[in-house]
Amino acid sequence: SYLIKTIQHLKLEISNLQSELVKKSQEMEELNKGMNWRSSTNSQSNNGLYQTLSQRDGQIHALHNQLADIEKQSLLYKEERDKLAYERDLLCEDLERLLTRRQSLDKLREYVSSLLQQIQSNPNVNINKLMKYSNDNRIFYPNQNNLTKGINRVTNI
């Protein structure tokens, strides 16, 4: 009984779909007739449409070429930006070395000034003894070669 009802329901749906298909087929035939009539009367406008499409196609092609050129320029700008960033990083490293050198020279200046004050205040001070004191306290004297390399790189840029 359930199967019979389901089969009857499906048969009803099939008949509805078939009638709908017939209606749609008739509508399509009518539309095709109308399109054939319009296409015969609009053959001149098709030429104009073809010309318009050709012009648009040319414009699109030109825009694609412009886009390709812009992408190439963008790539060149990115490469230049990367090079400049690398140079900036090198300059920052050089600046850091120069600042370290300056701090070391300031410490050395303070030390020499203190030595001079000690010598002036007590002319009988043994200089070798003072120098031994500075070596024992490990006063940092920067490496001259590192500074020269940094300066050469800055002046070569």
pLDDT of 133 > 60? The answer is: no
Question: Residues 125-151: what's their mean pLDDT?
Answer: 54
Which comes out higher in pLDDT, residue 128 or 77?
Answer: 77
- The residue to which tokens 């648009």 are assigned: 56
Asked if 99 and 105 count as a contact pair (C-beta separation under 8 A), the reply is: no
pLDDT score for 46? 67
Asked if 141 and 104 count as a contact pair (C-beta separation under 8 A), the reply is: yes
Residues 6 or more apart whose CB falls under 8 angstroms from that of 107 comprise: 139, 140
3-state helix, strand and coil shares in percent for the chain, rounded to the nearest 5: 90, 0, 10
SS3 string, 79-143, reads HHHHHHHHHHHHHHHHHHHHHHHHHHHHHHHHHHHHHHHHHHHCCCCCHHHHHHHHHHCCCCCCC
pTM of the model: 0.42
Per-residue pLDDT tens over the stretch 92-111: 999 999 999 999 999 999 99
CA distance 108 to 113: 8
pLDDT score for 130? 59
